[in-house]
Amino acid sequence: MRLSRYFLPVLKETPAEAQIASHRLMLRAGMIKQASAGIYSWLPLGYRVLKRIEQIVNEEQIRAGHIPMLMPTLQSADLWRESGRYDDYGEEMLRVTDRHGRDMLYGPTNEELITDIFRSYVKSYKDLPLTLYHIQWKFRDEIRPRFGVMRGREFLMKDGYNFDLTKDDALHAYNRHLVAYLRTYERMGLQAIPMRADGGPIGGDYTHEFLVLADTGESEVFYDSQVTDLTFGDREIDYDDVAQCQGVLDEFTSRYARTDETHDAALFDQIPEERRRVARGIEVGQIFYFGTKYSDALGATVINDKQEQIPVHMGSHGIGVSRLLGAIIEASHDDKGIIWPEGVTPFHCGIVNLRQGDAATDGACADLYAALTRAGLEPLYDDRDERAGAKFATMDLIGLPWRITVGPRGLKNGVVELTSRKTGDSVEVSAEDAVARIVEIYRDI
Amino acid sequence: MRLSRYFLPVLKETPAEAQIASHRLMLRAGMIKQASAGIYSWLPLGYRVLKRIEQIVNEEQIRAGHIPMLMPTLQSADLWRESGRYDDYGEEMLRVTDRHGRDMLYGPTNEELITDIFRSYVKSYKDLPLTLYHIQWKFRDEIRPRFGVMRGREFLMKDGYNFDLTKDDALHAYNRHLVAYLRTYERMGLQAIPMRADGGPIGGDYTHEFLVLADTGESEVFYDSQVTDLTFGDREIDYDDVAQCQGVLDEFTSRYARTDETHDAALFDQIPEERRRVARGIEVGQIFYFGTKYSDALGATVINDKQEQIPVHMGSHGIGVSRLLGAIIEASHDDKGIIWPEGVTPFHCGIVNLRQGDAATDGACADLYAALTRAGLEPLYDDRDERAGAKFATMDLIGLPWRITVGPRGLKNGVVELTSRKTGDSVEVSAEDAVARIVEIYRDI
């Protein structure tokens, strides 16, 4: 993309309403614009990151054998009356009345609707196991929306639902989700720690929240420092292998790691003192096993191999897709701007032309752009008629991991400058080498 | 995808509530399930087609130089009061009140919101031209939703908005959209005819609707039969070339083609009688140039090169993404089920195993599946323990364009059967040839 033809409205001023870094930087980098309280338009740059995050979530869900579909944003109130949650949910549920006076609501989650779909079609244990998921906009009418996309009202969430014949099968689905989530967050450059949590309005005794450590996190967390040494890495997983998935769960959840809702001071004190950590965390996902809570309420049963009609065991599993942008920025920025991990960057690299209008530098930049594009990468070429300082400031603010700087002096020596946004380190290399290095960096991402 | 692990709830009975073929077939093929009146869940098969259509729309918009972003579903009423449309829109607009008593609405379209974004950031003619678009769920509270996704209440639409300095520039944007839309529909296997239409609540004198001819269409249309001889084909287009885009518009709109709203009987009668056609059409898109209607109302101005502050010229351009599934099925089905055009099919081909459990046929099917997958294609393998007749009926119903049938008798002779859903014609070829043919068919799609 050539910046002269793009829409990237960066702001020079820091918006007064933004209290945390991610909110400030998303506004300043022209990623989002508030449409009304807690509701945002995703400007082109922000939208690109949102789509990349969505794509990673999708790929990892499909890899785990889960099936994508899509439920609508507006739901009938009837199903929520059937489950008993219509009145329980309180003022965070946005209630709507249509022109015929029917009670509807903007879905804050989808246990009822997915269970209705399941009970309409699935009658036999032979059709199990089944895990369906979707990525859809949700609404929670927060009394005080704040922190930008971190606590918005209209937000994008991946929510998945497993249907299983037995508790053991459902716990395997739970473990599968834990594994898939670990992979998902790591691909985004995040360390998200599974912590024992509370079921809240979804319900269920088995539940883990995934938290990214950050000073601006909304939750106080308590953990054994050994948990931060764990990484999933590039190990191979067979999602049908019950023992293997259980092994990953055991490895990642056996050490103490809890949110304040489930914190147990006595247990915590048993950790050697030098490993005890109290910090703050941003919740980026949660998995639940809640047994037959919804299948009982809504009559979601199957016939088992003994011809008995039994309720299915269920769980639900969510990732806060739009809020992840905020979490990633909180975890990865400096005083100049955002530092995108390669997995979610909106463009793979930036090209800065130091002398726009000069035939040689323009030509070299165009060649670089073409070479990167041919290699399947998406560069952002700053071809505006601006000073070098302004171009560097924009690139630093929007946080592309790599920048190639092209100027007349370097070209005379046959080199361009390749700069890491994270370290600030630069090397002078030929244009061909710069392309080859960028291609290599993104090979497995 | 192996069918035994998929969620494809096909129905044997024809649902009583469905009056037209596309609605019936989408229900029977397990593509959608009604959640409430005019609101649908997209089951996995339907969701796949929806995503393919969305992808084609995206690719053609980006090719035309238009920039993707995303606006929220819920909007503040204030902007609509500013444009004067809050009261005008009537009961089709779903009005919502949040917990603080603020008036909001579920966006039926986005002229106000995009104009607000534009006016917040763009101040100079140097930042023009600019065309932004998004693909987002909309809501229109139809009094009698019907015909499935063809006239739903919650529906997915691509809407794009151009901002230009002059009327001429804006008309070039209009032409660019016409070209991009012609390409878009043709890639979906549709002939959509641009017809002179009426501005309706969007406004504007320049507007064309794109209509797919079908007996079940909601609009009566009048046209010169020569318009159906036109195809865009694979011609190359430079979207920056004003004359070339104008040429396409002239070619596709110079003959008489109008909806009943703008029909002129006297003009129509001037067409030679044998070329006069009266038919019905399904509206699948519309483009508008409406000048400064919204920029005047909302104060969206730029400074031109004479330092004058002038309102920008605008247009909006919509494609009914979810309704396209219905339109495609109306145009392409038979009494056995759907016939997907290759451009939008949910899976590239089906594999039918005639003797599930037989080691040789199971092995041959697994090899075929692997070979197609390696070639970048997505087959649907019916590996259920079902009779051949039931497997064929399912494949015909869901409408994959190509089917490979594998049975013990054929394997003895070293052949499988490759069948076209459209013609019903079969050929016996080796498994390698079957893969090669399928790969060839999808090479340019």
Question: Per mean pLDDT, which range of A212-216, A371-375, B302-306, B315-319 is the poorest?
Answer: A212-216
* Cβ neighbours for A11, distance < 8 A, ≥ 6 positions apart: A27, A28, A30
pLDDT at B353: 97
pLDDT above 90: residue A199? no
pLDDT at A202: 66
Question: Per mean pLDDT, which range of A190-199, A380-389, B432-441 is the poorest?
Answer: A190-199
Tens of pLDDT along A131-181?
999 999 999 999 999 999 999 999 999 999 999 999 999 999 999 999 999
Contact B132 A68 (CB under 8 A): no
ipTM confidence: 0.96
Optimal mutation site among A121, A164, A312, A380, interface B, most CBs of chain B within 10 A? A121
pLDDT at A193: 97
Quickly count: other Cβ atoms within 10 Å of residue B61's Cβ: 25
Residue of chain B nearest A152, judged by CA positions: B72
Q: Which residue has the tokens 């050929």?
A: B427
pLDDT at B204: 67
pLDDT at B203: 67
The span from the CA of B30 to the CA of A427, in Å, is: 56
pLDDT at A362: 98
Measured between beta carbons, the chain A residues lying within 8 angstroms of B47 are: 68-70, 134
Tens of pLDDT along B60-103?
999 999 999 999 999 999 999 999 999 888 999 999 999 999 99
The span from the CA of A60 to the CA of B291, in Å, is: 46
Contact A42 B73 (CB under 8 A): no
Tens of pLDDT along A81-130?
999 999 888 999 999 999 999 999 999 999 999 999 999 999 999 999 99
Facing residue for B121 by CB, picked from A9, A98, A143 = A9
Question: At residue B139, what are phi and psi to the nearest 5 degrees?
Answer: -135, 130
Facing residue for B6 by CB, picked from A39, A67, A72 = A67
Quickly count: other Cβ atoms within 10 Å of residue B251's Cβ: 12
Question: At residue B67, what are phi and psi to the nearest 5 degrees?
Answer: -110, 120
Arithmetic mean of pLDDT over chain A: 96
- Bridge partners (DSSP) listed for residue B259: B221
Measured between beta carbons, the chain B residues lying within 8 angstroms of A121 are: 7, 9, 30
Q: What percent of chain B has pLDDT over 70?
A: 99
pLDDT tier for residue B198 given thresholds of 50, 70 and 90: confident
Contact B72 A35 (CB under 8 A): yes
pLDDT at B202: 66
| Furthest CA-CA distance within chain B | 82
Quickly count: other Cβ atoms within 10 Å of residue A285's Cβ: 27
Facing residue for A70 by CB, picked from B7, B37, B47 = B47
Measured between beta carbons, the chain A residues lying within 8 angstroms of B64 are: none
Domains, chain B, ordered by start: 12-337 (3.30.930.10), 347-441 (3.40.50.800)
Residue of chain B nearest A93, judged by CA positions: B99
Residue of chain B nearest A123, judged by CA positions: B9
C-alpha distance from B414 to closest chain A C-alpha (Å): 33
pLDDT at A290: 92
Measured between beta carbons, the chain A residues lying within 8 angstroms of B138 are: none
pLDDT above 80: residue A203? no
Task: Count, in order, helices (H) and strands (E) of chain B.
Answer: 14, 23
pLDDT at B394: 98
